[in-house]
Structure 1
Amino acid sequence: MLLAKGHPDEACGAAMKVVNNTRLLSSLVVTRQLADLCPLLKAYRGDEVVAEPLSVSSRTLAEQRWL
């Protein structure tokens, strides 16, 4: 929702908290939500604030899909 409203900095802060708190969960719901988040973040990849959250989210998604 924050990304849709044009607030990538706030969205990335929230995304990092969620990813860090759910990293050990491999539920289908978490995996789907990460899969939905990554393309939304990619739309803002030119913003400096998005680089780390995009990298962490993509890496976490790959790890969860492997499980």
Structure 2
Amino acid sequence: MENLIKSIVLMKLYRKYGQHVPIAEKEWQDAIKDALNDVYTNNLCFGKGVSAEHFSDLVVNILSLRWR
């Protein structure tokens, strides 16, 4: 699951810049906020019927990602 979340965050950065660029911590944090926003607005297509446990695990995983 962590790799999926990292992929989502990195995809958001790629969309913003259109190319692979060194990622500053600020951009990383902004992408994490965007990923969380997508989760809350259900844009990740996990769809209806997602358990509360799975949803909370997803949010915790996003929040625990570290900039490297």
Coarse TM-score class (shorter-chain normalised) = 0.3 to 0.5
Higher relative contact order (CA 8 A, sep 6+): 2
**Bigger radius of gyration:** 2
Between Structure 1 and Structure 2, the one with more helix by share is: 1
TM-score (norm 1): 0.36
